[in-house]
Structure 1
Amino acid sequence: MTRVAAQIVVAVPAELCLHAVQAAMEDPRLKDAYRRLRPGKEYAGWVTRVEPGRRLEIAYAALDPLTDRRSHALGWRVLYDVAPEPDGRTRVEVAIEYGWLTALGGMGLVKAQAENEIAQRLAFLHALELGRHNVATIAAPQEMPADMPPARARVPEPRR
């Protein structure tokens, strides 16, 4: 089993991190958008394990190119491990685990795909933190952590 992982510390309670991930997976608008990516294909995973406030496991079955059917042997797992930090924030590790059949079927691209997916999932957690604090600053600006940089738009210079 190959494992690719990264972590982030966010000013969001552990339970909210895991709840937000599950809510996104179950949202019918997102499921519909995923289905439109490739009509006839399913992109949603299945929650296979939950340890409240500690861990969430999602399993994905991959498409077997020989049979055009979903196969768990060719699939992968996404794991969220959360741990409270002493300062009230939460350390979240996002990992993707996949077997040699998946790696072989992906012809060497699976690790890069896993890294990209982890980056997007970490960005989701960061966005959750920003959204939570933007709402909090409207109601109570003193709740904004001192190390939270202000949000600002950055428009890149056009390439010439």
Structure 2
Amino acid sequence: MAGVAGKQPRLVGLAIEASTHRQLQEKTDLMDVPESMKAELATWNHGAGISLEGWISCMGGFSLAVGYSTVFWPGFVAFERYILLEGFSKESLRGFERGPGATRQSVEAVMNHLHLADIHGFHDGIAADKLIFLGTVLRQIYQAKLQWQFPDRRFVVELFIPETNDIEDYQLSFWQAD
């Protein structure tokens, strides 16, 4: 399947190469800190460093945590023959259905995509390794929640990694497999 919005990205998800998948799996299983964050975390505590958990307790806030919960445990709804993110636009759905060559999978893929850079309206500190780390974790979460919420259906959840590393093009999407 072509990438969202006609892009031809490298796919990370069910179609990922085994060696790359293993590396990403090990990275997220161990919750390794993305390289672009290591220098910042190392400066904490007079150079002794700080863990990600310690850092979020210092830098985060409960309002942000509540907001992030909508990204990290999104609402999914069954509508007609589709599984969509809660709050979807019926008008947009109908528009994508009328597109040339539209299939249920292609409509779901575009309706359910998330540009990772859009999680924050500003891009201070954004880096490709953070987007890959975050996208990999979100892919696992979405796959688990979709299977839990809809156990009788199969899904493809993919992380789109652009060849150009344009931060705006890192995307997560999902659709029903059959």
TM over 0.5: no
Higher strand share: 1
TM-score, structure 1 normalization: 0.30
Higher helix share: 2
TM-score, structure 2 normalization: 0.28
- Return the structure number with greater relative CO, CA threshold 8 A, min gap 6: 2
